[in-house]
Amino acid sequence: MRVTGAVRAKAKRGLSGTDRRIYDSVFNAVMSQRLPSGTKLTEGTFCELFKVSRTIVRKALQRLAHEHIIELRPNRGAIVARPTPQETREIFIARRAIEAAIVPLAVMRATRPQIVRLRQLVKEEDAALHRGDRPAWIRLGGEFHLMLAEAAANKVLLRYLTELVSRCSLIIALYESPGSIPCASEEHNELIDLIVDGESRKAAERMDRHLLAIERRLKLEDDNERIDLARILGVTA
């Protein structure tokens, strides 16, 4: 199974037409750092911008909330999720623990087609970075880790990692310093090489350093700039 198709299908399951357009607009705006954490998203605003009913808007917002991109607050509308520094640390601690269990299993169980797919994902990830497609770069980086979890052939670990990758993708999109120079594709290639060579301990250590490096590039600061939602989402009156 191609993890790319699986992840995309899961993220957009049940969406079609305008509700998918709303989902994509918000997702891409968050992942490209154009829509900061804490930004208020009201149903009325989306109805006006996209000329649709509240039912359609709610469908898109519910999917975004399921993916941890936004938070739905009872009687207060939605906001772009704002993980606190403490939550961020806890999420990365959990992710490092989960991936420490995944890597040795992937070393033992990864098939040749899965290794080929992992290398292809790295190429796609690197291409997205160099063409400046930040949403695709973040998504592909997450898919690499989910493909490793699939190679480990443990459904429980995959389920836990899926949620953690979703939350980490948001954190990276919101808080990674714009001036940082990511080297994820190089680190991912090193991981693949260690897995192919059967170097379970070294691969686990490399994964831990990789995740620590991502966490250290984060810049956890509030942004109180006023938001022009129509401009950010590319919607014209």
Each residue's pLDDT tens digit, 43-91: 999 999 999 999 999 999 999 998 889 999 887 889 999 888 999 999 9
Which carries the bigger pLDDT value, residue 14 or residue 81?
Answer: 81
**pTM, 2 dp:** 0.79
pLDDT digits (tens, 9 = 90+) for 134-152: 889 999 999 999 999 999 9
Burial class (CB in 10 A: 0-12, 13-18, 19+), 157: middle
Q: Kindly list the structural domains of the chain, giving each domain's residue range(s) and its CATH number in brackets, ordered by start.
A: 3-81+223-233 (1.10.10.10), 85-216 (1.20.120.530)
| Alpha-helical segments (H) within 110-183 | 112-130, 134-152, 155-175
